[in-house]
Amino acid sequence: MLEFYKSRLKEMIKLVKDKIIIEDTTLRDGEQAPSVSFGLNEKVEIAKIISDILTEDDSIDAGFPAVSVTESKIMSEICKIIDKNYILGLSRLKKEDIKLAYSTMKYSSKRKIGLIIPTSTLHLQCKLNISPKELLEKVIMCIDYSHRYFDDVEIGFEDASRTEIEYLCSLTEEIINAGVKSITLADTLGYWLPFEAESCIKKIMSYVTNIDELDYLGIHCHNDLGLALANSIAALGAGVNKIGTSVNGLGERAGNTSTEQILILQQIKNLDIANKNIKKYNIERIWECSRLVETLSGIKVQRNYPIVGENCYIHESGIHQDGILKNKLTYQLFDPAMVGFKDDIFYYGKHSGKSGLSFKLQQLGIDIKKVDLEQYYQRFMILCDTKKQIVDQDFLDIL
């Protein structure tokens, strides 16, 4: 019995590393969001701030060179400027795509190519019209060809969440045998539930006999059912060590797992996983990065969006304001300045109480001892019935 548990433990820790790798795809998947198009200077500006936030072990998915000549040129410029992070360029299973990816990324000393492989029966039959055997032959040919130009070849399983687990395991094993060290499973349509994502990863970890030869097993989750973050966390707990993310969750349709949410979750919860890079992220630039992507993409971040929404750190409730004035930890998980938020955290309206009003008056230089706070509060409530946004002059007028 003891030997059985030792064997199971060995299986569960096969791929556990001491680092969790972020692969930010704002510049590629983020730009695939409807109506989003980044120019050269815009992509470079975004790449610079993302690079500054991430660690040297993390990757920037910079684009798909075969999309257009312009896309290829922009990626080339990014490769010249960003030398801190690995730069990933995507490719179809075509030699001309692979060769173009190399010519596009040859200026980067930390370049890698990502080969996209549709794995579900639906994709194999309707998109490629080939059998699983034919796909494997084509993949191995492209892996061999990619190794002429790239030391680092990453394989992405498209629609992995709707692929039979037995086929995923056998395909993973064959691809590892072909010399690949990094594989990413994509929940392309946000189809998984968290327990399904966890189960899939655990089965791959248990049944793929050569899984320990893999450096990175990653996850790339879309948010169609609002579960991208939950599925990513479930997969992390099951053993993956690379997460595909994007700033503001920007991406196709409902978007991707949010870069800022994963980073802050690691800071606050540590996800019960040892990540040696946890203190190396420049998280105080998160707010700035979010606002930049929001501006350049033209896609507004919803006000109550976690970490970077305008309402995240603002309190109107009198109970909350009173609690925070006594101890910030009562209603704040962390100091908003940690992510670069520097605005006022109190908003004043009909839900505010006397403690918050007293604090505001003192901010305005008023000697609160000379104020009849009860009468002031009643007059403030009357004003709130007729005016939704209270400004500093209103506080003084009531006084």
HSE of 390, CA atoms in CB hemisphere, 13 A: 23
DSSP string, 231-243: HHHHHHHHT--EE
Which of the four pLDDT bands, split at 50, 70 and 90, describes residue 271?
A: low
Pairwise pLDDT comparison (22 vs 19), residue with the higher score:
22
pLDDT at position 13 over 60: no
Q: What share of the chain is helix, strand, coil (3-state, %, to 5)?
A: 50, 15, 35
In 57-193, alpha helices (H): 69-81, 95-105, 121-123, 132-146, 165-177
Q: What is the separation of C-alpha 80 from the centre of its chain, rounded to a whole number of angstroms?
A: 24
Q: Which has the minimum average pLDDT: 7-11, 29-33, 83-87, 187-191?
A: 7-11
Q: Can you tell me the mean pLDDT for 206-233?
A: 97
- What tokens does 239 get? 């053993």
The long-range contacts involving 352-360, CB below 8 angstroms and separated by at least 24 positions, are: 352/316, 352/317, 352/318, 352/321, 352/380, 353/317, 353/318, 353/319, 353/321, 353/322, 353/377, 354/318, 355/318, 355/321, 355/322, 355/325, 356/318, 356/321, 356/322, 356/325, 357/395, 359/321, 359/325, 360/395
pLDDT at position 112 over 70: yes
Q: Can you tell me the mean pLDDT for 195-204?
A: 97
- Using CA atoms, how far apart are residues 88 and 100, in angstroms rounded to an integer? 13
| CA distances for 76 relative to 237, 312, 325, angstroms | 36, 37, 51
pLDDT at position 1 over 50: no
2-297, CATH topology level: TIM Barrel (3.20.20)
What are 309-331's pLDDT values in tens digits? 999 999 999 999 999 999 999 99
Which of the four pLDDT bands, split at 50, 70 and 90, describes residue 8?
A: very low
For residue 5, what pLDDT is reported?
40
pLDDT at position 82 over 70: yes
Q: pTM, whole model, 2 decimals?
A: 0.91
37 sits in which H/E element? none
Q: Can you tell me the mean pLDDT for 108-124?
A: 95
What are 130-167's pLDDT values in tens digits? 999 999 999 999 999 999 999 999 999 999 999 999 99
- Using CA atoms, how far apart are residues 357 and 351, in angstroms rounded to an integer? 11
For residue 17, what pLDDT is reported?
59
Q: Can you tell me the mean pLDDT for 23-37?
A: 97
Domain ranges (residues) in the chain: 2-297, 318-398
pLDDT at position 272 over 80: no
For residue 206, what pLDDT is reported?
95
What are 300-313's pLDDT values in tens digits? 999 999 999 999 99
Which of the four pLDDT bands, split at 50, 70 and 90, describes residue 276?
A: confident
Which of the four pLDDT bands, split at 50, 70 and 90, describes residue 11?
A: very low
**Mean pLDDT across the chain, nearest whole number?**
93
Q: Can you tell me the mean pLDDT for 179-183?
A: 97
Which of the four pLDDT bands, split at 50, 70 and 90, describes residue 361?
A: very high
For residue 18, what pLDDT is reported?
80
Taking residue 306's Cβ as centre, other Cβ atoms within 10 Å add up to: 14
Q: What is the separation of C-alpha 137 from the centre of its chain, rounded to a whole number of angstroms?
A: 33
The DSSP call for residue 346 is: B
For residue 388, what pLDDT is reported?
85
SS (H, E, C) 281-310: CCHHHHHHHHHHHHHHHCCCCCCCCCCCCC
Which of the four pLDDT bands, split at 50, 70 and 90, describes residue 274?
A: low
For residue 273, what pLDDT is reported?
57
**What percent of the chain is predicted at pLDDT more than 70?**
94
